[in-house]
């Protein structure tokens, strides 16, 4: 597709369940990023990938969060044993390269609600 | 601690007004400064600035970066109701973006 796509667009889950969020970057983009936006908060960096490797996982809030990227394309963000504070919009972005001088283009996000 | 601060946090203007949004930063390993517009979910890219003093322009929007004073401004002239959105400033640090809190702009008819 022309832009970054994410699925699902909305996810409601019960506390304690695991969820998987998917991101499909722009074709040809080698770098992929995950951010989180909580109600009334700015965007918070979670993790980024250069190809299939993740040089910077510093933003993952706890060990319940993990992400992987296979084939240099699609990425999955997994949250285990979800908590109510995990409720947020999870945004994925991609860029041509990772060095910080390439524009990041965002997907529409997944709104996660933990009940 | 790395930080990006935007001001004002919210702004209400009338159509036709000119607005200036501010972004200051203290970020190690600065690579770039980016502006995004967020209306519903996905932030949409507006500008990326890497050099001081060079204005970037797109229609009624323009932006400039001052790397000595560590700030950037985003100007919108002849505002329209369609400009109503949250405007986000972000600094590229290595492979990630550090975002400010955003400025919520509301343009009244």
Mean per-residue pLDDT, B97-108: 95
Interface test with A, best of B85, B96, B97 (most A CBs within 10 A): B96
CA–CA distance, B87 with B9 (Å, rounded to integer):
10
With an 8 Å Cβ cutoff, are B88 and A106 in contact? no
Indicate yes or no: CB of A91 within 8 angstroms of CB of B43.
yes
Q: With a cut of 50, which residues of chain A have pLDDT below it?
A: none
Total Cβ atoms within 10 A of residue A65 = 18
Dihedral angle sign, alpha carbons of residues B43, A8, A55, B100: positive
Tell if the CB–CB gap between A42 and B100 is shorter than 8 Å.
Answer: yes
In the prediction, which pLDDT does A100 show?
66
- The widest CA-to-CA distance across chain B, in whole angstroms, is 42
User: Which pLDDT does position A109 carry in this prediction?
Assistant: 95
Q: How many whole angstroms separate alpha carbon A93 and alpha carbon A98?
A: 11
Residue A51's beta-bridge partner residues? none
Choosing among A5, A25, A42, which should be mutated to test the B contact, i.e. which has the most B CBs within 10 A?
A42
pLDDT tens per residue across span B19-45: 999 999 999 989 899 999 999 778 999
- Is B42 within 8 Å of A91 when comparing Cβ atoms? yes
pLDDT digits (tens, 9 = 90+) for B72-102: 999 999 999 999 999 999 998 877 899 999 9
Integer Cα distance of B82 and A18 in angstroms: 39
- Segment B5-20, tens digit of pLDDT: 999 999 999 999 999 9
Strands A65-69 and A75-79 come out as antiparallel
Amino acid A67: pLDDT: 95
Contact at CB, B42 and A106, closer than 8 angstroms: yes
Given this model, what pLDDT does residue B9 score?
95
Which A-chain residues 19-78 have CB contacts (< 8 A) with chain B? 31, 33, 35, 41-45, 48, 50, 55-56, 59
Calpha distance A88→A113 (Å, rounded): 7
The answer to whether the CB of A6 falls within 8 A of the CB of A24 is yes
What is the structure's pLDDT at A78? 97
């Amino acid at each position: 597709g022309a832009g970054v796509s994410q699925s699902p667009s909305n996810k409601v889950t019960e506390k304690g369940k695991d969820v998987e969020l998917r991101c499909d970057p722009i074709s040809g983009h080698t770098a992929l990023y995950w951010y989180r936006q909580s109600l009334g908060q700015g965007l918070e960096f979670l993790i980024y990938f250069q190809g299939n490797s993740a040089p910077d996982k510093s933003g993952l809030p706890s060990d319940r969060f993990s992400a992987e990227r296979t084939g240099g394309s699609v990425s999955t963000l997994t949250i285990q044993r979800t908590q109510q504070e995990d409720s947020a919009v999870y945004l994925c972005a991609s860029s041509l390269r990772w060095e910080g001088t390439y524009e990041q283009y965002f997907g529409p996000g997944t709104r996660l609600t933990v009940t | 601690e790395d930080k990006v601060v935007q001001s004002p946090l919210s702004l209400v203007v009338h159509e036709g007004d000119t607005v200036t949004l501010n972004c200051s930063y203290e970020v190690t390993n600065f690579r770039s400064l980016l502006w995004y517009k967020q209306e519903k979910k996905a932030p949409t890219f507006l500008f990326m600035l890497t050099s001081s003093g060079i204005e970037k322009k797109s229609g009624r929007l323009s932006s400039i970066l001052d790397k000595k004073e560590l700030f950037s401004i985003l100007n919108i002239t002849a505002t329209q109701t369609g400009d109503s959105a949250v405007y986000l400033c972000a600094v590229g640090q290595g492979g990630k973006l550090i975002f400010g809190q955003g400025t919520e702009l509301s343009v009244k008819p």
